[in-house]
Structure 1
Amino acid sequence: MASPQAPSAPAVSAVKTPARWWRSWWRSLSPVHQDRFAALAPLAAVLMFLAAIAASFWYLRTEEVVREKEALKRDVEYAQQRVRLRLLERQDQIMRIARDLSNEELERADFVSRTESLISQYPELQSVTWIDERRRIRATQAAPTVTSSQLYVNGEVLKKGETAELFKLARDLQQPVYSLPMAGTGDTAALLQLQVPLSPQGKFGGVVLAEYSIDSLLRYGTPTEVLARYAMTVLDGNGQVLAGTPLPPRRNTLLPWTTKANAYAIPVAPVGNGLVLRAQAYRTSLGVVGSGLFWLVGSLSVMTSWLLIATWRHTRRRQQAQQALVAETNFRRAMENSILTGMRALDLNGRITYVNAAFCQMTGWTEAELVGQTPPYSYWPEGEYEKLQANLRDELSGKTMPGGFQVRVRRKSGALFDARLYVSPLIDARGQQTGWMTSMTDITEPNRVREQLTASHERFTIVLEALDASVSVAPLGSQELLFANRLYRQWFGSQTGGHLEMVAQAGLPPSSSNASAMDEEDALMGLPLDPLTSAHSENAEIYRSDLGKWLEVRSRYLNWVDGRLAQMVIATDITPRRVAEELAARQAERAQSVSRLITMGEMASSVAHELNQPLTAISNYCSGMVSRIQNGQISEEALLSALQKTAHQAQRAGQIIQRIRAFVKKSEPNRTLANVHEMVGEALELAEIELRRHNVRLTHYVAARLPPVMADTILIEQVLINLMKNGAESIAQAQRPPAQRSVELRVVPRQVDGAAVIEFIVQDTGKGLAPEVLTHLFEAFFSTKSEGMGIGLNLCRSIVESHQGRMHAENLYNATEVTGCRFSFWLPLANASDATINSEATPTPRTIA
């Protein structure tokens, strides 16, 4: 008996070893850790129990879901077989009709009666249509539920679309073809098409088209018991619902994190993947969810866990409050030592009772050296004791200034700095004052910056006062003048009137408005939409009769130093420049007049020849009348006819002279609404004289109903005459044969950069222009003629550009040969504002830059 008991001693000691280790480990823990583990152990047990209940519940629910899915799959497959058989039965019936039609055993009337019987017997069959090989509808029969937009009409040709494509496919395959289901739109229902080809004598003879209502196919083809348990829907290949009503997303009472209902989908043969039958379960069995025991155990577990957690949190909060108190004390001490503001506490007798680290760092003395001092303090500068003593008396008596007071403080090294002191009373816990707390800030650097700003402001004022331009600033909506330099005060005084008058005369947005206008509308109406302080400045030129000066006025918005929106106006005296511009304009007018005189001088012989014709005719008429009167061979009628012809020739000569005088006489530029046809006609009559002298043919084309332009007719006529005369001279120098001696003038409307213009084109058949000549063609005093002055084309371009137009020259080519030259320029059309300005009396001297 002793032998079997011997090995048991080591086993017992081995069992006791873990227990002993556990007790030693527990006793080694602090009471705080023991309390924590004592609170966590019950919580862990409750959580494990709750996890076991949840795992059991999840397992049971999973088994339930699997069974429901298997049942759903079986029911959907059964319903799919029923729908498939129904489709195959209808397909067989349609194929029998197609076979009879192919064998010519069925006439049209028989087709209609037979299809009508099928449609009335089977609700899913909506229509049956007989279509021949030319896609013409021979006969059709439809159910009453088919809408008018879905009906086929006898005799019509099948329109292009999905039905026509399916027709081609049935013709090519020679077998029944189903279409992809077409979703309904509006009042139309989703339809499925079947096309069965006709094969009379082995040839394609058309199709029999059958259309099914997918909704009726679902309703009558699906078993009633399946429809009662599931929400049945028919989908296309893209998942779009064709028939039925799907269930909306809902919360699962068993698995709240899921939102999808139990569903299963399967394609319907023989249509294929384009027609899918889907079922969704209406509800899920509650199973163990309705068990009150489960919810009772769960509720008790949650409540127990909550109580354990609340006890544990209460213990932790008490420990955290103790730690926070120590941390707050350390934090306040660290913050006090880190601030740059010096703190000093005095008792009611003026003795220093406390200083912080910043105060010691400012003055250079330690806390031990400062605490306990009485006036005079060691940081008071010598020579200012009386002033500082008076400040201390005011401080101790409670006469403190809200903004503090400035003093001079001496550091231990002897250096001085400026400081500002702020005083507040010290109140103890019983509400009694025990002294004064003083904060001291070093303001040496701010004082230096303030002095620099003052000096900068003085320099800025000196510069503005020395400007040769008037500068004024006024706030919007006020009559106050915020700033005015010396020149403004010299011109307008110290009032805002000059500023407002310049703004109003220049047409800039106003800087102020009267009170009555402020009541009815916004005072800032008319200001730029951009941020005013970043908007571009606006320039204008005005004439001040009281000063006798032309002023260039520039305006800009800015934020004034007090935050108000203000308008700055800078006025510069530009009288010398305007005088120079007027002198240059007069010189240009003289140059234009001289150019016209030169042109007429060059055309003098042609003009003389043109005048010689009517004068010779007048002389001949007069001589003939005199001789016939002397011989008594003239009647009163013949005399009257001769006198009328003589008067006509005299009027012709007078018109030529008047037109030449109007062209060469000096006049101020007068831009008016000009009729293009009349202007071109005047230029053609004058230029035609010169062109006939050179034996050059003149052709012209002026577009009909051209709108008027804002132009000086004499100046534009001068441009046209110069261009046509230059073309004639170029043709003469090139010695072209008579058939090639022509100048063409074209006037047509055009679009340039989105704007409507009138383009004038003068085209000749001369020798053209060399490349080096094209570069300098419009420069002043540059001419290709040996006797030319070089002002003609330059003056022409200046005239065109003064009318806001552009001039251009280019050679004409036939392959590489130069066949002529083309000069073109365009003028903008007159707008409504130009017409208004032209109709006004006298323009004001104001000019907008």
Structure 2
Amino acid sequence: METKPEVASPRQSGPWDWWRAWWNRQSPNRQDRYANLTPVAAVILFLAAIASAFWYLRAEEAEREQEAVKRDVEYAQQRLRLRLIERQEQVMRLARDISNKDVKADQFASRAEALVQQYPEYHSLTWLDERRKVIANQSVSSIMRSERLLPGKTLGVGETETHYSLARDLMQPIYGQLDPKQHTDLNGALLQLLTPLSNEKGKFNGVLLAEYSMEGLLRYGVPTEILAKYAISLANSEGDLLAGQTIPQRTRFLSMLPMVSSEDNEYEVPVSPVGNGLILKAQAWRTSQGLVGSGLFWLVSVLSVMTAWMLIANWRHTRRRLQAQKALVAETNFRRAMENSMLTGMRALDLKGRITYVNPAFCEMTGWDESELVGAVAPFPYWPEQDIDALSARLEDEISGRHTPAGFQVRVKRKSGSIFDARMYVSPLIDAQGKHTGWMTSMTDITEPNRIREQLANSYERFTIVLEALDASVSVAPLGSKELLFANKLYRQWFGQDTVGHLRLVEQAGAYYENETAMDDVDGLAGLPTESLTVAASENAEIFVSELGKWLEVRSRYINWADGRLAQMVIATDITPRRQAEELAAQQAERAQTASRLITMGEMASSVAHELNQPLTAISNYCNGMISRIKSQQIKESDLLGALDKTAHQAQRAGQIIQRIRSFVKRSEPNRTPSDVTGIVNESLELAEIELRRRHVRLSHYVAARLPLLMVDPILIEQVLINLMKNAAESIDNANRPPDQRHVELRVVPRQEDGQQVVEFSVTDTGQGLPPEAIDRVYEAFFSTKVEGMGIGLNLCRSIIESHQGRIAAENLYNADEVTGCRFSFWLPVTGTLPTDTTSGAAE
């Protein structure tokens, strides 16, 4: 059977070999860093060991001190307990003698006085009967005797009365306390012992009250050696101090660490047989300087600080050296990267004019390599042949130090033969020792900036030509200054070369104005737009300049001038022809309105003549009748006066008709006044009824009560109403409606329109209506649905209503698919709030 050769197993590596392999894998910088950490770790471990030792010693000392305090306090508590038990037995013997009637009231004073004199902790002994009345009392002195325990007094309501009741119920001795805060007549806290008394039948017969001074108990009950070592005090269950003294709690060094308490110098136990109501507390006096006062502590601390200081100084020195090395490498790399990435070409010359250094940007600009330029002397390869003489002279000035700080412009030839413009700046080259070693020249390609500058100059020239050729005045002036930044040709023709005209336009337009007095108290920027000036809306105004005799439209805008100042641009355009055209159009509209009224009256001429014929015929008949009767001597004076009165009435009626027609057709300027709606309607009805009666059309009207006043021209509104009612009568006449359907209704009511209070006028007829395709065109000029119509009536009506900020509309009325009439309505906004007092109803 073939066997395989044994292979030697690799050597098992231990922790040392693993650590050495790991150390060898680290870089030298990391090895130095880890080596520098070793002293730091050693110092930290040393400081930790010292702190642990101090902490252990202090904890041990605190534990011993706490055990000593506990032991002494328990011993003092036993001594105090024994003393209280002895006093309790004495009081119980005296109480037993009183219950057996071995001691009378007069004998009680002598025995109580003996006890009080023999045992100084007694404050008083008092005998109380079953009704809480004081039979006898003995105190340390008459001065300290309390008025509440005088013979003959009755025990009041309070803590003593509560203890009295408890002793009576339990028939056992009861301990209690009196706090001087609640009993102002006491000089200090008292401990009470109430021992019940019984008669021969065993019934309750009063109590023997013994009061101990808390200060006396503490002074005579606690051993003197303990009082010397500790601050001993008696406190109640709430922790209030009753006797003795306390000291502030001791704050120990390193008290925040475990097992080191800040209360290891005090201990408290309840006092028996009183119970938990009386606490004995002891606090140890400070007898040592503590850890901080120990000389060994300060010696070790100083040595530790010095060791740490030397270690930190060594570490800082090493760290600064590494930082300096890194900074040097970074600075070198940064300067190299900066030189390689600069777009500005750099060239260094020595004092003899030889090139000693060029950066990559210089080589890229000229197309020559660094090896071809370094060491070259004038003339340099990048000099154009035709500029060699000028560049040589410039180089001599440069070497001699005669150079301009603003630089100079030259032409540079590339290796390919092309030429470009460049600007060069020269500065002396100083080494680290302050020695002048040559000259440094920076070169920038300005071919593109020159092209842009030329384009900007051409653009500015074209812009100036355009502004000079404008038919509007353009001016720019800074705020708060009288300097004129820009003015075109038309501005100079109108206002000259100063800012007087600019400020006058701004002032009259109300865009922005400041005077010398206002600038003292008001911020010059107040009122400017808070949004960006590029989006601020311009302000427009139309003003009249009397010096020029022109109407100008002024537009102003705030702009940022080229130098950063805030300026105001004002553009003034001559709008005199437009204003003249508008005035002419207004005059033509007024003439058209007057012509419309004349046409209306011409169409109504026969009706007016018929209306005037009646009063004139009546006047003629009255006059002829009076003449005949006067001639025949058959008339009385009373009949003559009656006939004359009727004749005058008919003449007045005819005059009113003529006067109304005259005022309607009379041409006058528009005059808007607060007008009564009822008066406008009545005036319109007087003229419209003539035409409606001629066409046998009935008219009814309704005017709502207490309508407000309207700011309108009453003549124009009457013209609209008459035109609408006349059209309604013509529509009914053309439709050949029967007599019961020939009716026109006028209604005037208030209503709301888009949240605005308006007054609505509506004229409804029973005619043939409007063609559906003509409803939207009836207001167009020269469009009419009547064969003989001129097409200007409704157009003028709409113009009149819209000039009063109102609206007019028309609609057909239907009964199923049949048109039964048409309604024209218009509304006017209410500008007055005073209501009228007239009330109108329906009338025919």
> Which TM-score applies when normalising by structure 1?
0.61
Hey, what's the Cα distance between the residues in 2 that align with 1:490 and 1:656?
A: 60
Q: 2:409 aligns with which of 392, 406, 426?
A: 406
Q: Provide the residue aligned with 1:10 in structure 2.
A: none
Q: Take 1:562 and 1:19, find their aligned partners in 2: how far apart are those partners?
A: 78
Task: Look up the equivalent residue of 1:479 and give its one-letter code.
Answer: K
8 Å contact kept, 1:508–1:555 = no
Distance 1:323 1:526 in 2: 58
**For 1:377-404, what per-residue CA distance to the aligned partner results, in whole angstroms no more than 9, with x for missing partners?**
3333334344334433443444443322
Which residue is 1:757 aligned to? 758
1:489-547 residue CA offsets vs partner (Å, 9 max, x unmatched): 23333333333333334x2413x533222113234555555444322333333444444
Aligned counterpart in structure 2 of residue 509 of structure 1, from 504, 511, 514 = 511
Residue 665 (structure 2) pairs with residue 664 (structure 1): yes
Query: How far apart, in 1, do the equivalents of 2:758 and 2:501 lie?
Result: 42
Q: Deviations over 1:698-757 (max 9, x none)?
A: 222333444443433222211110001111222233344444433222223333333333
Aligned pairs for 1:281-680 (under 5 A) are 318-505=321-508, 507-510=509-512, 512-528=513-529, 530-680=531-681
Name stretches of at least 5 consecutive residues in structure 1 with no aligned partner. 1-12, 54-227, 229-252, 256-291, 833-849
Deviation sequence 1:61-83 (CA, Å, 0-9, x none)? xxxxxxxxxxxxxxxxxxxxxxx
Query: Which residue does the alignment assign to 2:55?
Result: none
Is this contact kept in 2: 1:533–1:556, CA < 8 A? no
Q: 1:500 to 1:28 in 2, by over 3 A?
A: closer
Number of aligned residue pairs: give it. 584
**C-alpha separation in 1, matches of 2:313 and 2:767:** 110
Matched residues in 1 for 2:498 and 2:592: separation? 47
Tell me the CA shift for residue 340 of structure 1: 0.8
Change (3 A) 1:343 1:740: same
1:14 and 1:535 map into 2 onto residues whose CA distance is 88
Aligned residues of 2:529 and 2:536 also touching (Cα < 8 A) = yes
Which region of structure 1 is more displaced relative to structure 2, 450-459 or 532-541?
532-541
SS in 2 for 1:767: coil
**Take 1:758 and 1:617, find their aligned partners in 2: how far apart are those partners?**
41
How far is 1:306 from its partner?
Answer: 12
Instruction: Look up the SS of the partner of 1:349 in the other structure.
Output: coil
Q: How many angstroms does 1:793 deviate by?
A: 1.2
Corresponding residue for residue 713 of structure 1 = 714
Residue 776 of structure 1 is matched in structure 2 by 777
**Residue 534 of structure 1: SS of its match in structure 2?**
coil
- Contact 1:409-1:419 within 8 A present in 2 as well: yes
Instruction: Give 1:449 deviation, angstroms.
Output: 0.4
The worse-fitting range, judged by mean Cα deviation, of 420-429 and 26-35 is: 26-35
Higher gyration radius (CA): 2
Asked whether the 8 Å contact 2:717–2:800 carries over to 1, the reply is yes
Report if aligned partners of 1:750, 1:756 keep a CA contact under 8 Å in 2.
yes
How many Å apart are 1:815 and its aligned residue?
Answer: 4.2
| Farther off after superposition, 424-433 or 13-22 | 13-22
Shift in CA distance, 372/43, structure 1 to aligned 2, threshold 3 Å: closer
* One-letter amino acid of the counterpart of residue 824, structure 2: F
**Which deviates more, 15-24 or 529-538?**
15-24
What code does the residue aligned with 1:788 have?
G
Letter of the 1:409 counterpart: V
Q: Deviations over 1:39-60 (max 9, x none)?
A: 678999989x99xx9xxxxxxx
Match status 1:18 vs 2:20: no
CA RMSD of aligned residues (A): 4.1
Asked whether the 8 Å contact 1:26–1:34 carries over to 2, the reply is no
Q: Which structure 2 segments of 5+ residues have no match?
A: 1-8, 53-237, 239-255, 259-290, 292-296, 834-844
Query: Could you give the per-residue CA deviations for residues 545-567 of structure 1, whole angstroms, max 9, x where no partner exists?
Result: 44444433333332222222333
Supply the AA of the counterpart residue of 2:21: W
Alpha carbons of structure 1 residues 631 and 449: separation in structure 2 relative to 1, 3 Å: same
SS in 1 for 2:404: coil
Identity of aligned residues (%): 72
Aligned to 2:262: none
Structure 1 675/432 Cα, relative in aligned 2: closer, same or farther at 3 Å?
farther
The alpha-carbon distance between structure 1 residues 427 and 596, as it changes in their structure 2 partners (threshold 3 A), is: same
- Please say which of residues 612-621 and 378-387 is displaced more in the overlay: 378-387
Shift of 1:457: 0.9
Deviation track 1:615-673 (CA, whole Å, cap 9, x = no partner) reads: 22322332333334334444444433432332222122111101101112333434444
Corresponding residue of 2:211? none
Q: Distance in 1 between matches of 2:535 and 2:706?
A: 47
| Distance change (3 Å), C-alpha of 1:27 and 1:651 | closer
Q: Secondary structure at the match of 2:385?
A: coil
Q: Do 2:709 and 2:832's aligned partners in 1 also have CA atoms closer than 8 Å? A: no
Local SS of the residue matching 1:557: strand
Relative distance call for 1:697 and 1:316 in structure 2 (3 A) is same
Distance 1:24 1:540, change over 3 A: closer
> 2:137 matched to which residue of 1?
none
Q: Distance in 1 between matches of 2:477 and 2:33?
A: 75
Q: Secondary structure at the match of 2:348?
A: strand
**SS of residue paired to 1:571:** strand
> Following the alignment from structure 2 to structure 1, what is the Cα–Cα distance between the partners of residues 396 and 335?
31
Cα separation, partners in 2 of 1:542 and 1:17, compared to 1, 3 Å: closer
Deviation at 1:310, TM superposition (A): 9.8
8 Å CA contact retained: 1:509, 1:526: no
**Tell me, what secondary structure is at the counterpart of 1:426?**
strand
Closer/same/farther in 2, CA of residues 650 and 788 from structure 1, 3 Å limit:
same
Asked if 2 retains the 8 angstrom alpha-carbon contact of 1:344 and 1:355, the reply is: yes
Aligned 8 A contact 1:425 1:437 in 2: yes
C-alpha spacing 1:536/1:611, structure 2 compared with 1 (3 Å): same
Letter in 2 for 1:771: P
CA distance in 1, matches of 2:633, 2:722: 49
Distance 1:43 1:813 in 2: 109
Question: For the Cα contact (< 8 Å) 2:708–2:832, is it kept in 1?
Answer: no
SS in 2 for 1:769: coil
2:811 and 2:822 in contact (8 A); partners too: yes
- Give the counterpart letter for 2:569 in structure 1: M
**Aligned equivalent of 2:166:** none
Measured after TM superposition, the shift of residue 356 of structure 1 is: 1.5
Distance across 1 between alignment mates of 2:751 and 2:257: 78
Who is 2:691 aligned against?
690
